[in-house]
Amino acid sequence: MPKALLNPHMRLSFTAILALLTMGLTPAAGLPQCPPRDELLAKAEIVVEARVKSLSIGESGFLGTKDSPTRWIRADLEIKRVIKGKFSAKEATAYGTPYPPGPFVELTMMALFAGLDRDAAFEWELSRHELGDTGIAFFSINGCQYYKFPDYATAAR
C-alpha cells in the first residue's frame, strides 16, 4: 500500500471527498435556500408569460472588477402576456452569470422547445436591478425570483 494512504490526514481527505461525491454536492449547496414559490410570486412586482427567443452564453463586454465573471448568459424573451404588474413592452432581455441560483437547465429546454414550434411559454418574474446611480438597469436571471416552467421542461434533480 502506498505510504500516502497510511497517513491519517490523507485518509480523512479521501473519505471527505468520497462522501461529497456520494452526496452529490452542487455549487449551490452552500447558498441559502430560496423562499417557497408562492412567497416569491406574492413579492414579485412584474410577472409575465414569455417564450425564449434566443439564449446565449458569451463574453459580456462589461468592465468589472478582477473577480467579476466575464461570461454572461443572455435570454431574449418574447412577452405573450402580463400576469402581474405593468409591463408594456413585447420583448425583454434578461442577463445572468452561469452560477447558481438560476434555472439554466429549464431556460435551455424552453429555448429548444420554442425552436421546435411548441407552445413553449412559461411564467417569469422580471426582476429589475439598477447599476448604481447610472440610471441603467437590467433584468436578472440569477437570484431568488419567481418562475414556473411546464412539467416537460423541468428536470428531475
pLDDT tens profile 75-127: 999 999 999 999 999 999 999 887 777 788 888 888 888 877 667 899 999 99
Q: Hey, how many other C-beta atoms are within 10 angstroms of the C-beta on 114? A: 19
Strand order, beta sheet including 137-140: 128-130, 137-140, 91-96, 71-84, 47-59, 122-125, 147-148
Instruction: Decide which of 27 and 59 is more confident.
Output: 59
Q: How far apart are CA 139 and CA 146, in angstroms?
A: 13
User: Going by DSSP bridges, is the β-strand pair 137-140/71-84 parallel, antiparallel, or unpaired?
Assistant: unpaired
Q: How far apart are CA 57 and CA 98, in angstroms?
A: 8
Write the secondary structure of 52-111 as one string of H (helix), E (strand) and C (coil): EEEEEEEECCCCCCCCCCCEEEEEEEEEEEEEECCCCCCEEEEEECCCCCCCHHHHHHHH
What is the model's pLDDT at position 99? 74
Instruction: Provide the greatest CA pair distance for the chain.
Output: 69
Q: How far apart are CA 77 and CA 124, in angstroms?
A: 10
Of 42, 53, 41, 68, residue with least CA distance to 120: 53
Chain segment 31-74, per-residue pLDDT in tens: 668 899 999 999 999 999 999 999 998 887 766 677 777 788 99
